[in-house]
Amino acid sequence: MAKHIPATQKYYEPEIECMPRPQLEELQLQRLKKMVAYAYENTVYYKRAFDQAGVRPEDLKSLADLARFPFVNKKTERETQHVGSFFGEMCSVPEEDVVFMATSSGSTGVPTVSPFTAEDFELWQNTEARLFWQAGMRPNDRYVHGLNFALYVGGPDVIGAQKLGALAIWAGAIPSDRLMFVLKEYQPTVIWTSPSYAWHLGEIAKEKGFDPKKDFNIHTIIVAGEAGGSIHSTRESIEELWGAKVVDFYGLSDIYGACAAMCEAKDGLHIVEDQILVETVDPTTGEVIPDGQTGELVYTTLCKKARPMIRFRSGDIGYVDKTPCSCGRTLARIHVTGRKDEMFVVSAVNVFPSDIEYVVRGLKGLTGEYSIRVYEQDFTCRYEVSVERADDSDEPFDEVASRTMAALKAHIGVRPRNVIVYDAGKLGTSSAHKASRFIDERKQK
């Protein structure tokens, strides 16, 4: 059932979104205690892992005590799925209680399945409605869900839009010509896609003679799945192209399609802390590090029944900000800087692809497309960046290369070994829904 909330109301669930932090942390602790006990009693894997680590649910007396419990990661999921039953050893309910499953893309190995009970599914969609409302969607909006529906956990998020009362158009990953038809004929106001596709779609719309600002009616573009939505220069380029605001969402196939979203302050993404607890740990040692410091983000689900995730190491590097946000929400904000497996170290500097994107998208005379190759030479990690010169530029390639290199050196601290310049459209990175721009040739990661 859709909730009926006046469109002028700022928050979808103010009692949760603006809950004073001490109260919120008390709620988290109560839910965490229940979840840890539930996982121990109902899940083959957690029973074994807690016993091996010598911890019991009753050892958890404060949120900080969670640090005594073992981690799980993608590998744990892969190794336990289908063991003993279809959903395997991390699933806490019999299969007949599971009503939906999504899978991960498998981009980092065998796809992992993500099961939901009916109650999990309902709670998830309610959460999506809350995040859509936070992004500015209201019942009078027409919403185009431009995400893949096939096996992907982002697919059912569309139901969240319906829950808040918007008109949902289930477009999925249709060819760009058909999507442009939808944008022109049905005049939707909100769309969700990846940042690279939002950019690409705007560009091809212009090529086809449309002005995305005038011919379409989009006021909000929701993006997820790549770092771009949180990179200021990328967001501004897409906003300028479409005349619409860009709101970054963050999700994990292991938990929810969206777990966190930007607010109007555009300073990090509020995570649904009433349902997901976030910790930051040292990516090497696994030690918990204080809020505000950069490390690997670790998530614990507080409500999911089909497969609890207790201390899931996401592989995402970032930091958590629990200071008050100007939007009035008290829920912590996460800032994701990149993937742990995409971080590379050049001359003792940690570099993320998102750092390079920030520079490339901010430079004039380039199309904004890029790719990065990381490799080893003489036992030293090096990187090389390819960019495209804008269509309307006649600047010599070597000049484009040298100022790109100088900008990368100034922002990152270490220069690339090489910058290769292509003509606009020749790099071949712009057509995919989720662009692959990172070529990793390191032997040891």
Q: In terms of CB distance, is 110 or 265 closer to Zn ion?
A: 265
Binding of Zn ion at residue 263 (CB under 5 A)? yes
Binding of Zn ion at residue 53 (CB under 5 A)? no
Binding of Zn ion at residue 320 (CB under 5 A)? no
Q: In terms of CB distance, is 74 or 329 closer to Zn ion?
A: 329
In DSSP terms, 386 is beta-bridged to 371, 420
Rounded Cα–Cα distance for residues 423 and 405 (Å): 17
Q: In terms of CB distance, is 29 or 327 closer to Zn ion?
A: 327
Short-list 193, 238, 172, 218, CA closest to 435 = 193
Q: In terms of CB distance, is 57 or 229 closer to Zn ion?
A: 229
Binding of Zn ion at residue 325 (CB under 5 A)? yes
Short-list 39, 91, 49, CA closest to 71 = 49
Do residues 43 and 72 make contact, with C-beta atoms less than 8 angstroms apart? no
- Shortest gap between Cβ of 334 and Zn ion (angstroms)? 12
Of the candidate spans 16-24, 131-139, 321-329, 365-373, the one that interacts with Zn ion by CB under 5 A turns out to be 321-329
Q: In terms of CB distance, is 19 or 325 closer to Zn ion?
A: 325
Of the candidate spans 205-213, 301-309, 320-328, 434-442, the one that interacts with Zn ion by CB under 5 A turns out to be 320-328
Q: In terms of CB distance, is 98 or 331 closer to Zn ion?
A: 331
- Shortest gap between Cβ of 342 and Zn ion (angstroms)? 27
At residue 428, φ and ψ (nearest 5 deg) are 75, 25
Q: Rule CB under 5 A: choose which of 265, 349, 406, 439 binds Zn ion.
A: 265
- Shortest gap between Cβ of 326 and Zn ion (angstroms)? 7
- Shortest gap between Cβ of 354 and Zn ion (angstroms)? 21
Do residues 201 and 177 make contact, with C-beta atoms less than 8 angstroms apart? no
Binding of Zn ion at residue 327 (CB under 5 A)? yes
Short-list 258, 335, 350, 347, CA closest to 291 = 335
Q: In terms of CB distance, is 97 or 267 closer to Zn ion?
A: 267
Short-list 373, 376, 339, 374, CA closest to 354 = 339
Binding residues with Zn ion: total (CB under 5 A): 5
Q: Which pair of tokens denotes residue 381?
A: 């990690």
Mark 194-213 with x for binding to Zn ion (rule: CB under 5 A) and - for no binding. Answer: --------------------
Mark 328-367 with x for binding to Zn ion (rule: CB under 5 A) and - for no binding. Answer: -x--------------------------------------
Question: Is the Cα torsion angle 341, 346, 351, 353 positive or negative in sign?
Answer: negative
H helical segments located in 320-420: 353-362, 397-412
Residue 128, number of CB atoms within 10 A of its CB: 28
List the helix and strand counts (H, then E) for the chain: 11, 19
Binding of Zn ion at residue 262 (CB under 5 A)? no
- Shortest gap between Cβ of 419 and Zn ion (angstroms)? 37
Task: Give how far Cα 207 sits from Cα of 25, 136, 202, Å.
Answer: 51, 29, 9
Q: In terms of CB distance, is 5 or 18 closer to Zn ion?
A: 18
Rounded Cα–Cα distance for residues 275 and 300 (Å): 8
Short-list 289, 434, 419, CA closest to 360 = 419
Q: In terms of CB distance, is 90 or 325 closer to Zn ion?
A: 325
Of the candidate spans 108-116, 237-245, 327-335, 362-370, the one that interacts with Zn ion by CB under 5 A turns out to be 327-335
Short-list 225, 170, 217, 169, CA closest to 197 = 225
Of the candidate spans 160-168, 278-286, 323-331, 349-357, the one that interacts with Zn ion by CB under 5 A turns out to be 323-331
DSSP 3-state of 175: coil
- Shortest gap between Cβ of 265 and Zn ion (angstroms)? 4
- Shortest gap between Cβ of 255 and Zn ion (angstroms)? 21
User: Which positions lie near Zn ion, rule CB under 5 A?
Assistant: 263, 265, 325, 327, 329
